[in-house]
C-alpha cells in the first residue's frame, strides 16, 4: 500500500506541479478541492492509475471526491484490484 | 402543480449555497452605449452612476463606432432582421458568405464557418472532426467553452501544464499511437493575459505530426503588428490549422463566432458541427456590422496601435504606483491580490471611485490567485487611464498593499 501511495504521489507531483510550485503534497492533501488537480485535467491521473495497475475505473466511481487525496485514490485502486 | 414547494426549495437552496460560497453573480445594468464612459445601475434599482469601464472586452473601442452602427443599420434595411432558418436550409445570405471570406482573408486561413457564438464554435468543432481513434491535447487553462467542446467529443483527451512546452512534448510522445493529434490552446489567456508560445507549439506539432487549434477570442483584431492575432505575433500564420474566435469582443463586440482554418476541416464542420446545423447564424445587422469592422481594421492599424500605447502607458504607471501585476504585453492586466475578499473589497471601492472593474477568485482563477482584471481599450483616453491609476493608488493605499510583492500581500491578507 505504501509503495502504491508513493507511486501515485510521485506521478501527481510530476504531472501537476510546476518546478517553482510551493505546494507540498502529502498522502492526505486535498487535490481537487484545493485546485491542484482540476476536474478537466483529472483524466491524466485516471489514465495513469488504470495503466499502471491494469484496472478500469468506471466513470461513476472515478469522481472528484474519490480522486481528492492520494489515500482515497489508493482505496479505489485496491477495491478494483480485489 | 409540477413545480411544488419542495421542488422550489431545492433550487432555492442551491442558489443560497452559491451565495454562501461567495460565487453569486449580481445583476448589473449598463444604461448607455458600451464605451469607455458608461452609466451603470448597480445594485439593481440604484440611481445611474457614471463610471469608466475597465472590464469590457471592447478592446478596439468599436462596440459603438458610428461606421459600425451605420453598417448594421444598412444590413437591417437591406437584408432584414432575422433569418428564421438555420444556415443549411434557407438561413444563409450573400452577406454571410462575404463575412466568411473576409474573416479568412483577415486571419490568413483557407476557409471560415460562422457560428452563433464562439462558445458554439468551440462546442461543435471537436465532435465534428475527431473520433475515438484521435487525441486532443489541451493546455490546462483553456477557456471553459473549449473544455465543454472537448468533453462532448468521443476522442480521448489529455492536458499539459499551462504553457509548459516540455510537458506538451512529453504528451505528444505519449500519444504517437493515435490516428491524429490535436493540440488546443487559447492564443491569449483571458485571466492572465499571457500569450501562448505558438512558435514553439507549431514546431512541436510539426515534429510530432499534430494539428493545432487556437482560440484567439482575446487576440483577434489587435495582437500582432496588423492585428491578425497571436499567430501573427509569432509569425506562424501558415502553421495554424484551426482558429476559433468571436465577434463579441474586439471585433465589434456584438455576438457570433467562427471556426477558420484548413478547408477540409471547415467543410467537415459545415457538414457535421451541431451548433452550426441546429441553430440560426448571426442576424443580418450583426453580419453587416462585422464586415464593416473587418474593413476598418484591415485599412488601418490605428486602433490596435492606440491600444498598444494605452497598454504600455497603463502598465508603466501602475508599476510606478506599486501595484503587483502579472507581467505581460496584452491589454488584459491582472492586478494580483491573491486573497479573494481583498480582490472583491478593492473592486467595490474602485467602483465607488468611478472605476468599473471586477474581482476574480477561485474557481474562475486558481485558488490563492485572486485578482482584479483590468481590461484596456482603444476607446480609453489618457485621462481615463490616469483616473484609473489614481483610483488604484488611493484604494491600494487604503489596504496598504502598494509596493508589496506576492509574499508580503499574502502575509498581510492570506490567500
Q: Are residues B155 and B257 in the same domain?
A: yes
Residues 357-386 of B with CB under 8 A from A: 362-363, 366-368
Taking the alpha carbons of B74, B78, B84, B89 in that order, is the dihedral positive or negative?
Answer: negative
Domain total in chain B:
2
Q: Which of B247, B273, B299 is where one domain is finished?
A: B299
Instruction: Say what the ipTM of the complex is.
Output: 0.91
Please give the average pLDDT of every successive group of 10 residues along chain B, which has 415 residues: 92 94 89 97 95 98 98 98 97 98 98 98 98 98 96 97 97 98 98 97 98 98 98 98 98 98 98 97 98 98 98 98 96 96 96 96 87 98 98 98 96 92
B190 is annotated as an active-site residue: yes
Contact (Cβ atoms closer than 8 angstroms) between residue B36 and residue B64: no
For CA atoms B72, B73, B79, B81, the dihedral sign is positive
Q: In a 3-state reduction of DSSP, which class is residue B218?
A: coil
Confirm whether pTM is higher than 0.80: yes
Please give the residue of chain A at the shortest CA–CA distance from B407: A22
Comparing CB atoms, the residue among A16, A35, A44 nearest residue B362 is A35
How far off is chain B from A36, nearest CA to CA, in Å? 8
- Asked, for residue B332, whether it belongs to a domain, the answer is yes
- Both B328 and B243 in one domain: the answer is no
Is some CB atom of chain A closer than 8 A to the CB atom of B164?
yes
Per-residue exposure over A14-32, b if at least 16 CB sit within 10 Å of its own CB, e if not:
ebbbeeeeeeebeeebebb
Pick among A40, A42, A47, A52 to test the B interface (most B CBs inside 10 A) = A40
Q: Which CATH number does the domain housing residue B27 bear?
A: 3.90.1150.10
User: Does the CB of A52 have a partner CB in chain B at under 8 Å?
Assistant: no
Q: Tell me, yes or no, whether B81 and B39 share the same domain.
A: no
Is the minimum CB–CB distance between B144 and chain A shorter than 8 Å? no
Residues 6+ apart with CB under 8 A from A10: none
CA–CA dist B268, B355 (Å, integer) = 46
- Please, is A34 exposed, middle or buried when counting C-beta atoms within 10 Å of its C-beta (0-12, 13-18, 19+)? middle
CA angle B224, B225, B227 (to 5 degrees): 55
The whole-number pLDDT of residue B85 equals 97
Instruction: Check whether A21 has a pLDDT greater than 80.
Output: no
Q: Which CATH number do you get for residue B78?
A: 3.40.640.10
Could you give the residue ranges of the DSSP H alpha helices within B21-117?
66-79, 87-90, 94-107
Contact B147 A43 (CB under 8 A): no
- Name every chain B residue with its beta carbon within 8 A of the beta carbon of A43: 157-159
Spell out which residues of chain B touch residue A34, defining contact as CB-CB under 8 Å.
367
| Residue B249: active-site member | yes
Is B394 one of the catalytic residues?
no
Residues in chain B: 415
> B34 in a domain, yes or no?
yes
User: Pairing relation of β-strands B49-53 and B355-356?
Assistant: parallel
Residue B194 in domain? yes
B1 within domain boundaries: no
User: What is residue B61's predicted lDDT score, i.e. its pLDDT?
Assistant: 98
Q: Report yes or no: B48 and B31 within 8 Å, Cβ to Cβ.
A: yes
Do residues B256 and B312 both lie within one domain?
no
For chain A, percent of residues with pLDDT exceeding 70: 98
Largest Cα–Cα distance in chain A?
39
- Provide the pLDDT for residue B415: 82
Does residue B166 sit within a domain? yes
Which of B268, B299, B330 terminates a domain? The answer is: B299
Distance of alpha carbon B281 from the chain centroid: 20
Pick B367's closest partner by Cβ from A18, A34, A47: A34
Domains and CATH numbers, chain A: 2-81 (1.10.1200.10)
Q: Which chain A residue has its CA at the smallest distance from B363's CA?
A: A35
Q: Are residues B295 and B308 in the same domain?
A: no
**pLDDT in the model for residue B21:** 82
Q: Are residues B284 and B166 in the same domain?
A: yes
Residues of A in contact with B185 (CB under 8 A): none
Same domain, B295 and B327: no
Asked if the bond preceding B43 is cis, omega within 30° of 0, the reply is yes
Single out the residue in B299, B328, B360 at which a domain terminates. Answer: B299
| Dist CA B282 CA B92 (whole Å) | 9
Q: What is the pLDDT of residue A47?
A: 93
CB contact under 8 A, B363 and A35: yes
In a domain, B8, yes or no: no
Q: Which chain B residue's Cα is nearest to A43?
A: B158
Instruction: Write the DSSP string, A15-64.
Output: HH--TT------TT--STTTTSS-TTTHHHHHHHHHHHHT----TTTS-T
CB-based contacts of B107: which residues, under 8 Å, 6+ apart?
B216, B220, B228, B229, B231, B237, B243, B245, B260
CB contact under 8 Å between B140 and A41, yes or no, is yes
- Under an 8 A CB cutoff, do A40 and B161 touch? no
Using alpha carbons only, what angle is made at residue A53 by residues A21 and B156, rounded to the nearest 5 degrees?
70
Domain coverage including residue B209: 66-299
Are residues B95 and B169 located together in one domain of the fold? yes
How high is the pLDDT of residue B79? 98
Looking at residue A1, its pLDDT comes to 79
Q: Where are the beta strands (DSSP E) in B251-292?
A: 257-261
The residue from B171, B249, B306, B317 that is catalytic is B249
Report whether the peptide linkage leading into residue A80 is cis, meaning its omega lies within 30 degrees of zero: no
3-state DSSP helix/strand/coil percent for chain B, to nearest 5? 45, 15, 40
Is residue B258 domain-resident?
A: yes
Do B125 and B243 sit in the same domain of this protein?
A: yes
Answer whether A67 touches B (CB < 8 Å): no
Q: Provide the pLDDT for residue B287.
A: 98
pLDDT at A82 over 80: no
Q: Check whether residue B280 and residue B318 sit in a common domain.
A: no
Is B409 domain-assigned? yes
pLDDT at A20 over 80: no
Same domain for B243 and B102: yes
Are both B315 and B294 inside the same structural domain?
no
Out of B63, B104, B123, B190, the active site residue is B190
Report the chain B residue with the minimal C-alpha distance to residue A33: B367
Q: Point out which residues pair with B373 in neighbouring strands.
A: B334, B358
Measured in angstroms, the CA of A47 and the nearest CA of chain B are apart by 9
Measured between CB atoms, does A44 come within 8 Å of chain B?
yes
CB atoms within 10 A of CB B325: 17
Of B96, B171, B218, B306, the catalytic one is B218
Amino acid at each position: 500500500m505504501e509503495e502504491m501511495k508513493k507511486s501515485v504521489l510521485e506521478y501527481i507531483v510530476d504531472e501537476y506541479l510546476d518546478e517553482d510550485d510551493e505546494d507540498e503534497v502529502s498522502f492526505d492533501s486535498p487535490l481537487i478541492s484545493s485546485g491542484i488537480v482540476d476536474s478537466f485535467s483529472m483524466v491524466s491521473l485516471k489514465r495513469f492509475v488504470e495503466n499502471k495497475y491494469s484496472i478500469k475505473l468506471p466513470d461513476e466511481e472515478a469522481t472528484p471526491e474519490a480522486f481528492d487525496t492520494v489515500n482515497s485514490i489508493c482505496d479505489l485502486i485496491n477495491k478494483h484490484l480485489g | 402543480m409540477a413545480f411544488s414547494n419542495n421542488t422550489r426549495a431545492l433550487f432555492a437552496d442551491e442558489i443560497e449555497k452559491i451565495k454562501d460560497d461567495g460565487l453569486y453573480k449580481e445583476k448589473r445594468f449598463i444604461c448607455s452605449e458600451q464605451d469607455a464612459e458608461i452609466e451603470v445601475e448597480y445594485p439593481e434599482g440604484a440611481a445611474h452612476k457614471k463610471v469608466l469601464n475597465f472590464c469590457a472586452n471592447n478592446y478596439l473601442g468599436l462596440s459603438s463606432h458610428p461606421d459600425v452602427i451605420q453598417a448594421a443599420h444598412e444590413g437591417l434595411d437591406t437584408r432584414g432582421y432575422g433569418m428564421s432558418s438555420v444556415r443549411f436550409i434557407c438561413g444563409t445570405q450573400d452577406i454571410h458568405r462575404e463575412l466568411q471570406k473576409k474573416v479568412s482573408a483577415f486571419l490568413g486561413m483557407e476557409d471560415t464557418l460562422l457560428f452563433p457564438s464562439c462558445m458554439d464554435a468551440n462546442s461543435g468543432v471537436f465532435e465534428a472532426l475527431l473520433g475515438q481513434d484521435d487525441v486532443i491535447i489541451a493546455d490546462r487553462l483553456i477557456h471553459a467553452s473549449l473544455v465543454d467542446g472537448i468533453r462532448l467529443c468521443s476522442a480521448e483527451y489529455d492536458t499539459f501544464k499551462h504553457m509548459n512546452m516540455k510537458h506538451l512534448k512529453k504528451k505528444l510522445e505519449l500519444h504517437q499511437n493515435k490516428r491524429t493529434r490535436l493540440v488546443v490552446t487559447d492564443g491569449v489567456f483571458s485571466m492572465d493575459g499571457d500569450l501562448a508560445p505558438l512558435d514553439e507549439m507549431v514546431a512541436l506539432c510539426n515534429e510530432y505530426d499534430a494539428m493545432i487549434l487556437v482560440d484567439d477570442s482575446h487576440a483577434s483584431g489587435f495582437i500582432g503588428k496588423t492585428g491578425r492575432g497571436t499567430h501573427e505575433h509569432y509569425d506562424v500564420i501558415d502553421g495554424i490549422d484551426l482558429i476559433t474566435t468571436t465577434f463579441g469582443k474586439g471585433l465589434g463586440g456584438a455576438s457570433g463566432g467562427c471556426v477558420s482554418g484548413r478547408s477540409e476541416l471547415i467543410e467537415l464542420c459545415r457538414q457535421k458541427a451541431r451548433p452550426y446545423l441546429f441553430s440560426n447564424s448571426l442576424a443580418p445587422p450583426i453580419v453587416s456590422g462585422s464586415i464593416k469592422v473587418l474593413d476598418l481594421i484591415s485599412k488601418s492599424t490605428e486602433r490596435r496601435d492606440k491600444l498598444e500605447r494605452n497598454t504600455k502607458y497603463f502598465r508603466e504607471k501602475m508599476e510606478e504606483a506599486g501595484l503587483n501585476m502579472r507581467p505581460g504585453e496584452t491589454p488584459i492586466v491582472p492586478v494580483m491580490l491573491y486573497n479573494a475578499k481583498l480582490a472583491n473589497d478593492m473592486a467595490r471601492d474602485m467602483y465607488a471611485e468611478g472605476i468599473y472593474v471586477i474581482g476574480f477568485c477561485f474557481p474562475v482563477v486558481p485558488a490563492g490567485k485572486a485578482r482584479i482584471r483590468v481590461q484596456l481599450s482603444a476607446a480609453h483616453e489618457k485621462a481615463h487611464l490616469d483616473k484609473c491609476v489614481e483610483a488604484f493608488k488611493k484604494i491600494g493605499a487604503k489596504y496598504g498593499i502598494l509596493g508589496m510583492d506576492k509574499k508580503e500581500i499574502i502575509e498581510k491578507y492570506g490567500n
